[in-house]
Chain A
Amino acid sequence: MDRDLVERARRGDREAFTVLVHQVSDVLYSIAYRILRDPGLAEDALQNALVLAWRRIPKLRDPERFEAWIHRILVHACYDESQRARHWTATVRVLPIDGPSTPDGSDAVADRDELERAFRRLSIDQRAVFVLHHYLGLPLVEVAELLEIPAGTARSRLHYAIAGLRYALTGEPEPIVQEGRLA
């Protein structure tokens, strides 16, 4: 990331910020889509994150941390979008738990459908950790730092995310104790 662009954006240079927006939008949208699993919500989250980033960039103390900083803003925008679209989470919550798929691993399409459905059953917190770790490739310590949560909490969220997915795909028992509160 061009430090000079970030510095100029911090000083109120809209053109510099526009360049930054074009540099980061694709990654931000990719993350938002994968957390929210809805293109409309992901677009809204991206738009809100970019506007909020513009407003708050003067307070960004270390321009070198721009990417982590805007990723954090995006994840929080995803949280907000999921809350705003509570009808969607409500639908997720009241869905009956479908029986696990046959664990033969032979039907990739069926597996992907199951993954999609299973992922939608995870809390938004768990999804964020899962996406940042497995899609963006961030080590869990960096995920924790980005989300401003303890490393143990990030590890726990990832554990329950994987356990939830495993249950949906194999029928192995879901953990009894959920980390945190339901989103």
Chain B
Amino acid sequence: MTDDRSLERAARSWLEDGPAEAPDRAVEAALLQIQTTTQERDWHVPWRKRPMTQNARLLAGVAAIAILLVAGALLLRPGSNNGVGVSSPTTTASPSATPMASAAASPPAALSLSATFTSARHGYSVHYPSSWTVKDATKPWSAIGQNNWGSGINDELSSSRARFSGASQPLAKGQTADQWMTAYANGVATSSWATVTIGGQAGKITYDGGPAAGGTVAPGGVMFDAVAVVGGRAYNFNMDGIVDRKTFEAFLATVVFDPGSAFVVPPTTQPFTSPRHGYHISYPPNWRVQPATAPWPAGVAGASPPNPMLDVFTDPADPMRSFVILSQPLANGVTPDAWLATYEASAPSMPADCWPAPAQMERTTIDGQPAWIHGGLPICSFTEAISFAGGRVYELTSYFPLAGTPLPRDLFDALLTTVTFDPSAADDSPAASPRPS
């Protein structure tokens, strides 16, 4: 086997030897997952929904009044068609009362809301067209004004023409529904808001078909916005694109509030001291921990569970996701920057959104030390933080199934905040009884 031809012949023959049939379990598992997986109908750039500034609200109001004046003039004109008019007197005082003429196309006549979306984070469900794309919220809605489109705060159900967004947040301690509404109004009189029924509860239309803000799914379209307070939570639902009030209300009518199911970061009260990797952490008391039994050898190649060099934290009720930590001493002369650069170069096939250059990674601190975070998207299958302390590099990673739901970012962050590094306590001695990985 000394020339390339004979080598290639031997290699081809060797390649032929492997399995030729897919295991049924893998195919069946995929088909099962497909039954509950929505297709992607369209990619759209995750622009931001720009909250209306006071000036914008004023301009929108002026535009609405101008339209009303024109409409009024038309109505008063002799021989005018009385069928032309504004929709509802209750909407005249809202920021923008009438669907604008700028809508690029007619709204859908009747969408079939045949699928049900249940928010894992925000405590509600809603019906939507089964062909729409679903994007789960990944972050909590902490402050009013933050839940822009594409921020990860909203659940977003969308087609290329329209999008329905939903988010919720708990009322502050002692805060009333009216107080929350006033805060949400940001200076606009809440008395101008029309009442709407959302899932059988009284809600308010806070923006009624005016031009959609920047970042809309269908430029030239309109936007509706509604809020309700149920069970101590404030809910915000929004619809933008080529839609109308009737469609928005059809979605709202299918909402089922379940504030008790909204995601809340569990208390991280169970302490753990790593016997291998030199740190302390606190995790939810109902989780399980599998301590590492082997060191992390030099290099940038980490590991995903199961692997003896990982401390693995798992919620027994959610075994498909795990949180793992490992550390290793930096080799002589290797700086954190150099280690990170080598690490970044070690995965050329990973999507750039998951594995950016260190300079593009999100920055934070862990136990007062600089840390770099990357991943976090469903296509990444991990969210990872890297930090350095006392001459060691620490990797703290949550793994989840590819295209699955990441560990909630606020939970990931909560775990990081409990970490204290203790590099002098790390044990890099070989495993007593190594097992094959």
Beta-carbon nearest neighbor of B310 in chain A = A87
A79, A87, A162: the one within 8 Å of B304 (CB): A87
Query: Closest approach, in angstroms, between the C-beta of B130 and any C-beta of chain A?
Result: 7
Q: Which residues of B contact A17 (CB under 8 A)?
A: 34
Beta-carbon nearest neighbor of A118 in chain B = B11
A26, A83, A166: the one within 8 Å of B347 (CB): A83
Query: Closest approach, in angstroms, between the C-beta of A59 and any C-beta of chain B?
Result: 7
Is the CB–CB distance between A30 and B12 below 8 Å? no
**For the complex, would chain A's binding face be called helix, strand, loop or mixed by DSSP majority?**
helix
Interface size class on chain B is: 35 or more
Is the CB–CB distance between B4 and A43 below 8 Å? no
Q: Which residues of A contact B301 (CB under 8 A)?
A: 86-87, 89-90, 93
A58, A165, A169, A183: the one within 8 Å of B349 (CB): A183
Q: Is B37 an interface residue (CB 8 A)?
A: yes
- Give the distance in Å from the alpha carbon of A28 to the alpha carbon of B22 in the complex: 8
| Count, chain A residues at interface, CB 8 A | 66
Q: Which residues of A contact B302 (CB under 8 A)?
A: 86-87, 90
Q: Mark B1-31, 1 if CB is under 8 A from A, else 0.
A: 1101011101110111111111101110111
Query: Closest approach, in angstroms, between the C-beta of B171 and any C-beta of chain A?
Result: 37
Is the CB–CB distance between A29 and B130 below 8 Å? no
Task: Tell me the chain B residues, 276-308 only, with Cβ under 8 Å from chain A.
Answer: 297, 299, 301-304, 307
- Give the distance in Å from the alpha carbon of A119 to the alpha carbon of B16 in the complex: 14
Q: Is B41 an interface residue (CB 8 A)?
A: yes
Is the CB–CB distance between A181 and B345 below 8 Å? yes
4 A-B pairs with the lowest CB-CB distances in the bound complex, closest first? A90-B301, A29-B22, A79-B349, A87-B303
28 A-B pairs within 8 Å (CB atoms) are namely A12-B39, A29-B19, A30-B18, A50-B31, A51-B34, A52-B403, A55-B39, A58-B41, A80-B350, A80-B381, A80-B402, A82-B349, A86-B303, A87-B437, A90-B299, A93-B301, A105-B1, A111-B1, A112-B17, A125-B348, A131-B15, A134-B11, A134-B15, A135-B15, A165-B7, A165-B11, A170-B2, A183-B347
Interface residues of A (CB under 8 A from B): 12, 14, 17-18, 21-22, 25-26, 28-30, 33-34, 39, 43-44, 46-48, 50-52, 54-59, 76-77, 79-80, 82-91, 93-94, 103, 105, 111-112, 115-116, 119, 124-125, 130-131, 134-135, 162, 165-166, 169-170, 180-183
Interface residues of B (CB under 8 A from A): 1-2, 4, 6-8, 10-12, 14-23, 25-27, 29-31, 33-35, 37-41, 43, 130-131, 297, 299, 301-304, 307, 309, 345-350, 381-382, 399, 401-403, 437
